[in-house]
Amino acid sequence: MKEQTPSFRDLYLKSAVLSNPVLVQMVGLCPAVAATASVRCAVLISAALSLDLIVTCVLASVLMKRIPRAVRVALYLGIGLALLCPLLYFIETRTLMNLGQGTKVYLPLLAVNAVTALHCEKVAVKKPVRMAFLDAAAVSLGASIIFLIVGTLREVLGSGAFAGIDLDLPFTLKGLSLPFGCFILFGFLAAGLQAISPYLRQAQEEEPDAPAAQPQEADPQDDLWSDILEAEAASSERLAALDEFTERLIGGEEDAQ
């Protein structure tokens, strides 16, 4: 496969920001719920996710191109377990870190996370090793940044502390430390990303040799997004009719009932 290798900056902008794994592709949400409960968890899970993602992607790119898909996905789980269980064992027995029940469960669960499976299948097994590594690094960086931001917000707002240090806030919104708070914050962050992404895209297009193809719509088996994307496209067409609709909404027509 002859292909121009893009620079890390381009790749980062694309895989980590514009199609951020968590906020845009909505994968890896299960570890995200655990990771973002506090800053410490965010650091730990981000590190574990990055390790798992990079190692699995590189191994997949080097060794697994000939192996059938069904066996490959099981191997990703095996590699994940081989990496994460020793890590968990080390943390449990050799350090004084007291993991909550949540983190303890979610850490091995990272072995079956959707980010790894998605990027191994879509990028790593189709591209050269260097590309697989860069993609995995960019994606894990993109996810980690989100984890850290949301982890900080949830810990500060939800429990009034930062990295375990009490901040003495007058009141806290305990709800944000529960899983639903994580999704609400993701919603706002995703909206923020959506607001700035046109500018980022513009900046990227000004780069002369930015590669055009996204590794996204490659796999016919994975057309699960198409319905949502179609619906989205249809709804953005209606944006034009927005003002008219509002006019009618607040106009003086009669209540049917």
Partner 1 sequence: MKMISTLLITVLYTVFVQNLVMSAGLGMSEAIRLAAKPEKFRSLAIMISAFSVITGTICGALSRIPAIATLPFAGRAAVYGGVLAAVYLIAALLLGLLKPQDRRLRGTLGIAALNTLVYAVPFLNEFAAYSFAESFFSGLAAGAAFVLAAAVIGRGAKLLASNSNIPAIFRGSPALFLYVGLVSLGFLGFSGTALFQ
Partner 2 sequence: MPDSATKRTEGAQKPSHVTALRLFGDYLLMLLVPTVLAVYYYGLRALAVVGVSVGAAVLTEAIFSAVLGRSYYVRDLTSLFSGLCIALMLPAGVPFYVPVAASAFAVAAVKMPLGGSGAPIMPAAAGFAFAAVCFRTEIFTYTLRAEQKLLGAQSLGALLGGGNAMRLNAANLMDVLGGNVAGPMGTGCGLLMLACGVYLLMRRPRALLATAGFLGACALWAAILPRSNGGVLTNIVLELCSGSLLFAAIFLVTDHATLPAARWHRVVYGALCGVLCMAMRRSGVFEEPVCFAIVLGNALRPVLESILPGGGQAQRKEARA
* Amino acid, res. 90: F
Q: Identify the sign of the CA torsion 223, 229, 231, 237.
A: negative
Within 10 angstroms of residue 249's Cβ, the number of other Cβ atoms is 8
The runs of H, that is alpha helices, within 95-225 are: 101-109, 114-119, 129-153, 159, 179-206
DSSP letter assigned to residue 124: I
251 binds, among partner 2, partner 1, none (CB under 5 to 8 A by kind): partner 2
User: Are 115 and 28 contacting, i.e. CB atoms less than 8 angstroms apart?
Assistant: yes
Distances (CA, A) of 197 to 165, 192, 203, 242: 34, 9, 10, 22
Nearer to partner 1, 68 or 170 (CB): 68
- Footprint of partner 2 on 57-116 (CB under 8 A): none
Of the candidate residues 50, 172, 197, 204, the single one contacting partner 2 (CB under 8 A): 172
Nearer to partner 2, 206 or 255 (CB): 255
Q: How far is the CB of 67 from partner 1 (least distance, A)?
A: 12
Q: How far is the CB of 250 from partner 2 (least distance, A)?
A: 5
Largest distance between two CA atoms of the chain = 72
Between CA 125 and CA 48 the distance in angstroms is 22
Return the range that interacts with partner 2 (CB under 8 A); candidates 6-14, 145-153, 219-227, 246-254: 246-254
Q: How far is the CB of 100 from partner 2 (least distance, A)?
A: 19
Of the candidate residues 96, 212, 224, 256, the single one contacting partner 2 (CB under 8 A): 256
186 binds, among partner 1, partner 2, none (CB under 5 to 8 A by kind): partner 1
The three-state secondary structure class of 166 is strand
92 binds, among partner 2, partner 1, none (CB under 5 to 8 A by kind): partner 1
> Considering the rule CB under 8 A, would residue 175 count as an interface residue with partner 2?
yes
Q: How many residues bind partner 2 (CB under 8 A)?
A: 24
Distances (CA, A) of 107 to 24, 31, 34, 99, 122: 23, 8, 9, 10, 24
Nearer to partner 2, 112 or 190 (CB): 190
- Footprint of partner 2 on 181-240 (CB under 8 A): 184, 187-188, 191
Binding site for partner 2 (CB under 8 A): 170-176, 178, 184, 187-188, 191, 245-246, 248-257
